[in-house]
Amino acid sequence: MPPKGHAILSASSSDRWLHCPPSARLCETYEDKGSDYAAEGTDAHELCEYKLKRALGMDASDPTENLTWYNEEMEDCANGYAAYILEMVEAAKESCADPKVLIEQRVDFSRWVEQGFGTADCIIIADGTLRICDYKHGLGVLVDATDNPQMKCYALGALELFDDIYDIDNVSMTIYQPRRQNISTFEISKDELYKWADEVLKPTADLAFAGDGNFLCGEWCGFCKAKHECRARAEANLTLAQYDFKLPPLLEDSEIEYILSRADELVAWASDIKEYALQQAISGKEWNGWKLVEGRSNRKYSNEEAVIQAVTDAGFDPYEKKLLGITAMQKRLGKSRFDELLTAYIEKPQGKPTLVPESDKRPAMNNARTDFMEEN
């Protein structure tokens, strides 16, 4: 993989600083502590790079033994990613006899974003359409390619390298997120992309780099280092207090609809505040009216081998035999073998009703009213 660097206005954080420009400089004051999720993602990307290079006939060293988070699921995901890229290459060959494939390519989009650079997982250069694919290993957030600013920044960086060499008209951007069964593709014309870069990206990036602009909270706050202490986020969430926590029947429909649009952010913000306060207390800070105590814990064996021996000697079986769950079974067998053996025996019951915004891609389910109308 290419050497890592730090950009104040990185492509990966562009959704945040495009919505909230001053957050870029604010986050500079916080230490980047990383996480297990990030480390797992790094391992997955390294494995994907290896698998893709081998699939394309390039020399590559197998990194598996050095990957802390490697497992069968990651192996299947990486193989699937490599296979998908090969399909993209074949599609590119329809308009270009010899498309160029770049893997883990550093791209520079500093013409629009001061010190702007990033690393694109895969770029396929061909006449007609430039294709970019970004691998996402995460499970928590479903990533959509539609108007995705990170992908647009990568595309601009790729155009900086190849627009004068190839006859490119359009850019196709794909998110490959196998653990969420998500392959999302968005296509935009080169001219539209340049227009966005000139009219939206550059002026906002200039504000962000200077530390100017207005704070604005939203779903992009999730990965912001300042989210625990951000006053703008607190003020935005505390506006719900205007309803004085009245019971739902006392609220107007419009009020409930507004609260619904903010409820997830409010819960996330409250959770972030609690976690921040806890970590500060563990570090020695004292909060007025609060104290640090031991939480509830469960009994556990101090020596499992001794327990097994003692129970066996007493004439009892210390083990239980239980069928592995679907996720554990898939990890045990590997995805392809799992599908081959067990697809016929897997069913997915109807999910519990969940209220989501209209923008959600899932189809609406029937409710009591629509069921009644259909019956009559």
| Cα 280 to Cα 32, 277, 311, distances in angstroms | 17, 5, 44
How confident is the model at residue 344, as a pLDDT?
92
How confident is the model at residue 197, as a pLDDT?
96
How confident is the model at residue 232, as a pLDDT?
82
Collapse the DSSP code of 80 into the 3-class scheme (helix H, G, I; strand E, B; otherwise coil) and give the result: helix
148 strand-pairing partners: none
Domain end residue (candidates: 247, 282, 317): 282
How confident is the model at residue 201, as a pLDDT?
96
Is the pLDDT at 3 greater than 50? The verdict is no
**Of 261 and 74, the one with more pLDDT:** 74
- 145, 131 Cβ separation under 8 angstroms: no
How confident is the model at residue 159, as a pLDDT?
95
Nearest-Å Rg of the Cα atoms of the chain is 25
**Of 201 and 368, the one with more pLDDT:** 201
How confident is the model at residue 87, as a pLDDT?
94
pLDDT, tens digit, for every residue of 46-69? 999 999 999 999 999 999 999 999
How confident is the model at residue 341, as a pLDDT?
94
Together in a domain, 182 and 241: no
Together in a domain, 52 and 135: yes
pLDDT, tens digit, for every residue of 252-261? 888 788 778 7
Together in a domain, 143 and 276: no
Together in a domain, 205 and 232: no
Together in a domain, 57 and 114: yes
Is pTM, for the whole model, over 0.85?
no
Residue 193 lies in a domain: yes
User: How confident is the model over 199-209, as a mean pLDDT?
Assistant: 95
How confident is the model at residue 248, as a pLDDT?
63
Together in a domain, 115 and 232: no
How confident is the model at residue 101, as a pLDDT?
94
- 201, 113 Cβ separation under 8 angstroms: yes
Is the pLDDT at 149 greater than 90? The verdict is yes
pLDDT, tens digit, for every residue of 155-186? 999 999 988 888 899 999 999 999 999 999 99
How confident is the model at residue 141, as a pLDDT?
85
Residue 335 lies in a domain: no
User: How confident is the model over 131-136, as a mean pLDDT?
Assistant: 96
Domain total for the chain? 2
User: How confident is the model over 145-153, as a mean pLDDT?
Assistant: 95
Together in a domain, 203 and 236: no
Residue given tokens 């016929």 in the structure block: 344
Is the pLDDT at 290 greater than 90? The verdict is no
Residue 276 lies in a domain: yes
Residue 95 lies in a domain: yes
Residues in CB range of 242: below 8 A, 6 or more apart? none
How confident is the model at residue 223, as a pLDDT?
83
Binning pLDDT at 50, 70 and 90, where does residue 89 land? very high
| 329, amino acid identity | M
Q: How far apart are CA 351 and CA 70, in angstroms?
A: 31
Q: Residue 24: give its domain's CATH number.
A: 3.90.320
Together in a domain, 234 and 204: no
Binning pLDDT at 50, 70 and 90, where does residue 247 land? low
How confident is the model at residue 231, as a pLDDT?
83
Domain that holds residue 257: 228-282
Mean pLDDT, the chain, whole residue set: 87
